Chains A and B, each alone.
With several copies, the nearest count.
Chain A
Amino acid sequence: MSNYPKPDPATLLEIYKKAALIKLNDERIIKQMMAGKLVMPYYSPRGQEIIPSAISVSLTDDDYICTIYRGIHDMLAKGFPLDELWAELAGRVTGTCKGKGGPMHLTCPDKGMMVTTGIVGSSMPIATGLGWAAKLDGKNRVSIANFGDGAANIGAFHESLNMAAVWKLPVIFVCQNNLYAEHTSVAYSRAIDKISDRAAGYGMPGVTVNGNDPDEMYGAAKVAIDRARAGEGPTLIEAMTFRFNGHLLGEAGHYMDKGLYAQAQKDDPMPILRARLIADGIANEDELAAIEADIDARIDVALAAAYDAPFPDVAELKRDVFAEEIA
């Protein structure tokens, strides 16, 4: 991995901006939920900010991604419009899905965010199909499939990786290994150390990287994306990380290993990256504070607009079932 391309300072700052947006947005969602203003199942991505941020800097709006219920970080990193996001979370008609999808089904095709699924594993077959479409388009687009460590044990994983390999599709399978699937630690669900070892069984490269390290994550993603764009086929990336807020917001997390949790907190990638930017002279405290304040201000606006917007009319139940409205 030492020969991975490294992010330059501007890219590193860009990664931080995306990651900070994810973190601050997450904190605000939790605050709003605690205040009873937002009512929804929430799968916080806190702790996993670096992964999509370091991937997305190598993507354009044309590239496709599919993600899962815990995917708001993937979305924000790829440029999901904040206003439409908040309106959707608030179930308003101004939301990206008119309030019909909610947090588990965020979609924004304009920016390549095609499918968010609540079914474990199901991002992968669809991302594979988007990879096929991308290949047919001939525009060097790539398709990113995000999923968790738990999802690597379901049948859809196997079928998708195999098909993508046989068809040499430009798909990057990103397994965000946060060590738990709901309350199940990885040790309970597989008898191997690294999920990336499964790649060999499909004939594609597989790597395990520290997903919290912007250098490694950026490098591994860049190599895989370049490879996909060059028509050389898919890659499996296992990005090691941690979820700080448990599976579903509000759970107690008793099943978690205390030592692991403490260590993960020490390794929290956000303060580490922030400190590094300052230490390396990429940005100073004031600049970073300004970036963060700007994000907060944008969230303020999005949030206020969301709550002001109307709920969808019940007539919406008849729309979008089929292309033609039901009589």
Chain B
Amino acid sequence: MTDTTTTTAPADNQVRKMTAVEAINLALHDAMEADAKVLVLGEEVADPQEGGVMGVTKGLSTKFGEDRVKSTPISEQAIIGAAIGAAVGGYKPVAEIMLMNFVTVAMDMIINHAAKLRFMSGGQTGVPMVIRTMTGAGFSTGGQHSDYWEAWFAHAPGIKVVAPSNPDDAYGLMRAAIDDPDPVLFIENLPSYWTPAPVTKQIIPIGKARIAREGSDVTVIAHSLMVTHSLAVAEKLSGEGVSVEVIDLRTISPWDKETVLASVRKTGRAVVVHEAVKQFGIGAEIASVITEELWGTLKRPVERVGAAFSSVPFSKPLETAFAPQPDTIAAAIKAALA
């Protein structure tokens, strides 16, 4: 596992700037074009319903037909069940669960079935499907529309968990997720959906982290929107003479221990950042493994940054205080450097 890339080199000179919405749309398009077994389903995903509430699947049903791109009733259990059945039946479905809080309705299908069927059948029935979902605080949508629950799925053997931090990764990880023989939960960040960035159209391997910025004093490990925040903080701190290495996990399960440990072995200090509630979040596992593996090397305990222990609040000042912000991350980095 040494093919970690520091920066992604453009594959050709067709690098275009696009939003994550466009990048995921393109990834779905390219995957459907490359493989007739790829299907898309979910609420509103077909064009008569405007190709998704955010337009992520726009154009797909018009091009590939409403047999392969199916708008569903509001029935998350049946959506995931249909995807599992189709996957077991030889297809590669990409199911959308509109927001991450709604996965709660389909947990049986995801946890007891999608994640377990390969093991329970002794390898006879793989479930090559992708569950796309979006989330993230910042839009004043309150307690039931912005949660990050990646820790639940990372704790569940049999399902992979991926969370891109930018349009290029969104494209590359989506292509890899669709090709993966196992179920992949694909977490999109809603507030950064429309921030354009270059997209190289390279497929990005699942299970590999990316060193988003090199540094020597401290390692920040993040995913999704928190990578953007961490990079901004790193840039700012470089002005203060602090060299921050930022690792974009890209895949949360199985996560790339090699890359993380190599970095912390070098810096001796680590901060794990996620938007999910801090307590019992994925930062705890990553901090524990770093501590176990690098005991003696580690100069300070691993710092963890996550949301407050509450539901996502509606009122703007509370919502801002709830989720990790650049200054929270900066403070944690300084604590790690103490």
Contact = CB atoms under 8 A, between A and B. Distances in A.
A and B touching (Cβ–Cβ under 8 A): yes
Interface of A: 39-41, 64, 66, 88, 91-93, 95-105, 107-109, 114-115, 117-122, 124-137, 143, 150-151, 153-156, 158-160, 162-163, 166-167, 181-184, 188-190, 254-255, 311-312, 314, 316-323, 326
B105 interface: yes
Interface size classification for chain B: 35 or more
B160 interface: yes
Contact of A312 (B73, B91, B318): B318
Interface of B: 39, 43-44, 48-50, 53, 67-68, 70-78, 80-91, 93, 101-102, 104-105, 108-109, 112-113, 117-126, 139-145, 157-158, 160, 181-182, 254, 308-311, 313-318, 321-322
Contacts of B89: 64, 114, 129-130, 132-134, 137
A181 B98 CA distance: 13
Contact of B86 (A115, A129, A155, A184): A129
A153 B73 contact: yes
A38 B337 CA distance: 42
Contacts of B118: 320-323
Nearest to B141: A41
A122 B81 contact: yes
Contact of B125 (A115, A135, A188, A321): A115
B73 A183 contact: no
28 contacts: A39-B316, A91-B318, A95-B122, A96-B124, A97-B121, A101-B122, A102-B140, A102-B141, A104-B142, A104-B143, A109-B124, A117-B113, A121-B105, A125-B78, A125-B85, A126-B109, A129-B89, A130-B86, A130-B89, A133-B89, A155-B75, A156-B81, A160-B81, A188-B48, A312-B313, A312-B317, A320-B123, A323-B126
B142 A122 contact: no
B316 to A, nearest CB: 6
B157 A321 contact: yes
A115 B82 contact: no
Contacts of A122: 81, 108-109, 112-113
A182 B44 contact: yes
Contact of A162 (B71, B75, B102, B125): B75
Nearest to B88: A114
A119 B144 contact: yes
Given A150-B73, A156-B78, A156-B81, A311 B123 contact: no
Contacts, number: 291
A311 B316 contact: yes
Contacts of A40: 140, 314
Contacts of B119: 100, 320-321
B75 A101 contact: no
A124 to B, nearest CB: 7
Contacts of B90: 133, 137
Contact of B122 (A99, A166, A167, A314): A99
B48 A255 contact: yes
Given A41-B141, A154-B75, A105 B314 contact: yes
B155 to A, nearest CB: 13
Contacts of A102: 140-142, 314-315
B158 A321 contact: yes
B314 A100 contact: yes
Contacts of B84: 115, 125-126, 129
A159 B124 contact: no
Closest 7 CB pairs of A and B: A129-B85, A125-B81, A102-B314, A133-B89, A91-B315, A99-B315, A98-B122
Contacts of A97: 120-122, 124, 314
A130 to B, nearest CB: 4
A129 B313 contact: no
Contacts of B113: 115, 117, 119, 122, 126
Nearest to A41: B141
Nearest to A160: B78
A21 B108 CA distance: 33
A181 B74 contact: yes
A98 B81 contact: no
B141 A163 contact: no
Contacts of A127: 85
Contact of A128 (B76, B81, B125, B314): B81
A220 B124 CA distance: 32
A141 to B, nearest CB: 9
A233 B194 CA distance: 41
A182 B43 contact: yes
Given A117-B144, A182-B43, A322-B158, A162 B308 contact: no
